[in-house]
Amino acid sequence: MVNAAEFEPWSDPDAVPLIRFQNVTKRFGEFTAIDDLTIDIYEQEFFALLGPSGCGKTTLMRMLAGFEAPTSGTITLGGEDMANRPANKRPVNMMFQSYALFPHLTVRDNIAFGLKREGRDAAFIAARVDEMLKLTRLERFGARKPHQISGGQRQRVALARSLAKAPKLLLLDEPLGALDKKLRQDTQFELMEIQETTGTTFVIVTHDQEEAMTVASRVAVMNEGRIEQVDTPDRIYELPNSTYVADFIGEINLFPGTARRTDPPAPPDGTAPAAAKSESQPPANEAAGWLVSRLSPIFGEGADGKSGAPDGPALLPRPDGLEIDWAEGADPIVVSNATEGLDGGAVTFAIRPEKIAVSADRPDLPNAFQGKVIDIAYLGNVSTYHVELPTGQIVKAQTANTRRISARAFTWDDTVWIGWTDTAGVVLLR
């Protein structure tokens, strides 16, 4: 994964983006595929567009390649407006989902295709094709036709072909979708390596969140033509800004409820530093302060109709402790990493299964609930317990299988305790 300290142009205000979408809208008749979208992508990024099918991610990519024109808004590439540049004149190449390898040409001729259109001389083309074949480890297959090689090899030919012209920007449309799981994982690392060696900017479209998380320096989660969140994979996972993102990426437990401020916050042992840490805005993990800056503008709209936020955000010196009432008769969820001014507002508490501990006795944690194991999904390295609370809510809790399965502590219908710290989850406003 890209080290945040080394490569983070998006947090540098002076950095000039390679690609800039400004208020781009794309309509197909009545249907709005892209809705007033603005986004910057920087040089050498490995940028992932993630979303379910029909969310507009492919349209976005095809507009970059020049196969679709935006209905309104501008797309600039390296500072130049792309509006009147046809696809064949753009310094952009695309790797197609179907690979689109020319079946009548050999692997070599497929890779050389774009170079020949540039009118390069034969010696240059031959050298460049050899280089590409080597990069993608296809040296032995140059003379074959596409139907004479395996799916994984075809994928690499498609990659080599789109890289041969050394484009400023490479677009990858579901590049690994046709490969089986094992091959896909290997290829993900290959892609990252190639991206690093060539220094090309990659924009990848995928519906596979694991793939996006693995390869990308930043991920944009899309939904119905809009971008829900753009962030590094770890932040997308740990600090989703909406229930949509939280639910789309990985597994999550959601507790819709009402926030109630507790004054003063009463963090139990071991969790106090979390609140203090938040003031220095650390980059990762359960960074409460960061969340404050992210959520404040959102909160502005969210509170208007709901609660009116009586205290006003500015009055609070630091993130406050919250209790969330989520079900009749159940203990509230205690949170200490939420933003200010949530008092009385409708919120959703979200927590990942692996942040929830399962134990036989009541754990010494600010949040502890008793429930019954109704299902266990054994996945080899981890097990997911489905625990039904007395309220009827089913909570997923994940534990690493560090011991052999025969030594497992719980089984079906056991009564267990689940618990988590006051900083383990996030409070979401939408």
Partner 1 sequence: MRRLLIAIPYLWLLALFLVPFLIVLKISLSDTALAIPPYTPTIDLSEGWASFRAFLTGLDFENFVWLTEDDLYWKAYLSSLWIAASSTAITLVVGYPIAYAMARSPDEWRATLLMLVILPFWTSFLIRVYAWMGILAQEGLLNQLLLWTGIISEPLTILNTNTAVYIGIVYTYLPFMILPIYAALERMDDSLIEAATDLGCSRMSAFWLVTIPLSKNGIIAGCFLVFIPVIGEFVIPSLLGGSGTLMIGKVLWEEFFNNRDWPVASAVAVILLLILIVPIILFQRNEQRAREMDE
Site for partner 1, rule CB under 8 A: 65-67, 86-89, 92-94, 96-98, 100, 102-104, 113-114, 117-118, 147, 161-162, 165
Comparing C-alpha atoms, which of 237, 257, 234 is closest to residue 247? 237
Closer by beta carbon to partner 1, 113 or else 244: 113
d(C-alpha 41, C-alpha 64), whole Å: 12
Q: What's the Rg (C-alpha) of the chain?
A: 25
Closest separation in Å from C-beta 411 to partner 1 = 51
Closer by beta carbon to partner 1, 120 or else 430: 120
Closest separation in Å from C-beta 315 to partner 1 = 56
Closer by beta carbon to partner 1, 146 or else 233: 146
φ/ψ of residue 27, rounded to 5: -120, 140
φ/ψ of residue 240, rounded to 5: -65, 150
Helices (H), 99-251: 107-117, 122-135, 151-163, 181-198, 209-215, 233-238, 243-248
Closest separation in Å from C-beta 310 to partner 1 = 56
Residue 249 to residues 60, 209, 219, 236, 287, Cα–Cα distance (Å): 21, 6, 11, 8, 19
d(C-alpha 133, C-alpha 129), whole Å: 6
CA 59 to chain centroid, in Å, comes to 18
Closer by beta carbon to partner 1, 94 or else 291: 94
Residue 409 neighbours by CB under 8 Å, 6+ apart:
360
Comparing C-alpha atoms, which of 315, 362, 367 is closest to residue 336? 367
Closer by beta carbon to partner 1, 97 or else 398: 97
Closest separation in Å from C-beta 101 to partner 1 = 8
Closer by beta carbon to partner 1, 136 or else 232: 136
Closer by beta carbon to partner 1, 176 or else 424: 176
Q: Which two tokens stand for residue 203?
A: 């924009």
Comparing C-alpha atoms, which of 195, 200, 218 is closest to residue 92? 200
φ/ψ of residue 301, rounded to 5: -80, -40
Closest separation in Å from C-beta 216 to partner 1 = 22
Q: Quick check: 430 and 302 in contact, CB under 8 A?
A: yes
Closer by beta carbon to partner 1, 128 or else 161: 161
Closest separation in Å from C-beta 114 to partner 1 = 3
Q: What is the number of other CB atoms lying within 10 angstroms of the CB of residue 410?
A: 17
DSSP, residue by residue, 370-421:
EEEEEEEEE-SSEEEEEEE-TTS-EEEEEEE--S-GGG-S--TT-EEEEEE-
Closest separation in Å from C-beta 409 to partner 1 = 53
Closest separation in Å from C-beta 186 to partner 1 = 25
Residue 191 neighbours by CB under 8 Å, 6+ apart:
159, 172, 175, 176, 202, 215
Closest separation in Å from C-beta 68 to partner 1 = 11
Closer by beta carbon to partner 1, 67 or else 189: 67
